[in-house]
Structure 1
C-alpha cells in the first residue's frame, strides 16, 4: 500500500515537472522575436521538451560504463555537498546554478561526447537540459530517475519473482553483476551466479579529457 502511494506521488511529481517544462518552453514561443537571438528557436525547444528521446535508462548507462564507452561525459548538476557524498564514476560536477557559466560551456557544448546530465531524480537535470538545449547544445541526455533510480536498479536491484518472464531474470543477472562492478560486495555464491553479459573485465573507467574550446577574439571597436 505504501509503495503504491509512493509511486503515485512520484508519478504526480513528474507530471507536474513535465507540465512546468512545457509551459516554460511554450512561453518562449510567445516572446517577441528579435533579429539576434542566441540558440534554437522557441518552437524547436518546445518540440524537444515534449519528446522523451532525451532520456537514457540506468541499464543503458551502466552497460556503457562497464564497456568503457569513450563517448560518455557524465555531468552531475547537484550541489557540491551531494556530489562529494556520492556520484557516478568520473562525473564532473556542474551545479544547476552554474550551468550557464562561461567555464561550463566547454563541458556541455560537445560534439565529441554524449553528455549525460543527472541529479537525485529528474528535477534539476531536466532544468539543466532545457537551459542547454535552448542554447543549441547537442548530444544532451538525461539519466531517467537520476541517482535514486540508479540505486534501486543498479546498486540494489530487486530480485524478480518466479511468475515473472525470463527477460526479467536476465535483467536482474546483469544488474547484480553491474552492482558488483560498481563496488557492491556479495557472498561468493551470489558472485558466481552473477555474470556481466557484454564485458567481464573489471577495469576502472579511464578519466575523460575534455577539449577546451578556444575563445573567439572580439573585434576591436573604434571610437571613444
Structure 2
C-alpha cells in the first residue's frame, strides 16, 4: 500500500469514527427526558464530540515531556504487550477494556491532573475519551495521531526540502532536538566513535487521591 493510499485509508477511518461518535451522541439526545443517565447531559456530549479542542499535538506533548511538566498523566489505552514493547515516557497502561474498572477510575476521574489518552493512532484513544467524557470526567485530552504520528514528527522528523519556507526549517530543528532528547542519534553527533548519552527525564511517580464513595440510603 502506497503512502497516499495509507493516508486515504486513515482519513476514511477517522471520518467513520467521527460519524459514529456523532450518531451515538445524537442518539443520546433523543432519549426520554425521564431516563436517568450518569454523567453529562446528552446535548453537552454531542457538543464535546464535535469539538476538536480535545486534541493535543505531538509537538506540544514533546515540549511537556522535555520540560517535565507535572500537570498531566499519559494513559496508554493499548493492550499490555504493546505497552511493554514501546510507550511514551512515564505513561501508565490502562487498556481500553479495563477503562471503567474501579482501579482505573481513580486515575481518570480526578481533578489533580490533565489526562492524555493515546494509542497507535488516535482511534482507540478517541473511544476512551468519549466513554470518560460521557461519565462527566474532567480534563480529558487525546494525543492527535497517536504513536504513529509521534514517530513521524518527533522520533523521525522529515528534513525539509530547499523550496520550503524558513518556518519549516525552524520546526525541523526543534523536532530534531526533541528526537535527540528521546534517544535518537544522528551521524553528525558521532565524534571519535563516541556517542553522548542523551539526558532522559527521571520517571515521574504519580499519586492520585481517590475520591471517597458517598454512602447511599438513609437511616
Q: TM-score, normalised by structure 2?
A: 0.90
Preserved CA contact (<8 Å) 1:65 1:205: no
SS in 2 for 1:10: helix
Show CA shifts across 1:53-95 (max 9, x none).
0000000100111011010210000010110100000101001
Q: Distance in 1 between matches of 2:144 and 2:190?
A: 28
Aligned to 1:144: 144
Deviation at 1:13, TM superposition (A): 1.2
Q: Distance in 2 between matches of 1:48 and 1:190?
A: 48
Deviating above 4 A after TM superposition, structure 1's stretches of 4 or more consecutive aligned residues are 219-222
Aligned to 1:69: 69
Q: Distance in 2 between matches of 1:213 and 1:59?
A: 31
Q: 1:215 and 2:200 equivalent?
A: no
Preserved CA contact (<8 Å) 2:110 2:209: no
Q: Distance in 2 between matches of 1:41 and 1:130?
A: 13
Deviation at 1:28, TM superposition (A): 1.1
Paired positions, count: 213
Aligned to 2:122: 122
Deviation at 1:207, TM superposition (A): 1.1
Deviation at 1:220, TM superposition (A): 6.0
Aligned to 2:79: 79
Q: Distance in 2 between matches of 1:205 and 1:21?
A: 37
Q: Distance in 2 between matches of 1:208 and 1:22?
A: 37
Q: Distance in 2 between matches of 1:157 and 1:121?
A: 17
Aligned to 2:201: 204
Q: Distance in 2 between matches of 1:135 and 1:190?
A: 51
Preserved CA contact (<8 Å) 2:89 2:203: no
SS in 1 for 2:115: strand
Aligned to 1:194: none
RMSD: 2.0
Structure 2 residues not aligned, in runs of 5+: 192-197
Structure 1 residues not aligned, in runs of 5+: 192-200
Q: Distance in 1 between matches of 2:69 and 2:34?
A: 41
Residues 190 and 19 of structure 1: CA distance in aligned 2, closer, same or farther (over 3 Å): farther
